[in-house]
Structure 1
């Protein structure tokens, strides 16, 4: 079932979300100082294109630096990526078939706002 949901996801939302995260990652890496955020954007891009069967968990070793980095992330890119997830989720929830995909989009909002200190694991 995860594979079927992932295939539908890629067609309806995943590719656009993946492109957004990759663009953010490229911009962050070009700016040199923001490379850690670029790496986080690439990590989330992989999750955003194929989310079913995986989940996001808090890293036990993350500390205050992750919090500070997440505040900077929200200012630089997190707010518009979260907005993109919310808008896509609302549009997907219009149809019965899109409801699970819309819910998955809403679950991606917290990680799009605070990617540092998180890791993606198999569900």
Structure 2
């Protein structure tokens, strides 16, 4: 069932959300200081492509909080808005509700990606 969910997700909005995370990672990797943030973006791009069957666990410390502040100001808000808009559109139908919930999971991740791990 996870395979079918991931396939449908990739077709309807996973491709666009994954590419958004990938592009954000490329922009962060342009600078030497932003490479760790870019690498984290690439990890979460793979989650955005195929999120079903995976969970996100939040944790972290002072450095994660500092990185989340820079991230939120520079890249987090547009990615979160994209995921929320997709989620609201998908939740308009009964069949789209599970996909909308995945969008909301990605929106939360877009606001606080550092200190989060994929399980």
TM > 0.5: yes
Query: Shift of residue 27 of structure 1?
Result: 0.6
What's the offset of the Cα at 1:81?
0.3
- Given candidates 80, 83, 88, the residue that maps to 1:82 is 80
> What is the TM-score normalised by the length of structure 1?
0.93
Tell me the CA shift for residue 95 of structure 1.
1.9
Structure 2, gaps ≥5 residues long: none
| Structure 1 unaligned residues grouped into runs of 5+ | none
Measure the CA separation in 2 of the matches of 1:40 and 1:70. Answer: 11
- After TM superposition, the runs of 4+ consecutive aligned structure 1 residues lying more than 6 A away are none
TM-aligned CA deviation for residue 104 of structure 1: 1.1
TM norm structure 2:
0.96
| Count of aligned pairs | 119
Q: 2:114 aligns with which of 103, 116, 123?
A: 116
Alpha-carbon separation, structure 1, partners of 2:31 and 2:57: 28
Secondary structure class of the residue paired with 1:20: helix
- Pick aligned residue for 1:67 from 51, 65, 68: 65
CA RMSD, aligned part only?
0.9
Who is 2:29 aligned against?
A: 29
For 1:82 and 1:38, locate their aligned partners in 2 and report how far apart those are by CA, in whole Å: 17
Aligned to 2:18: 18
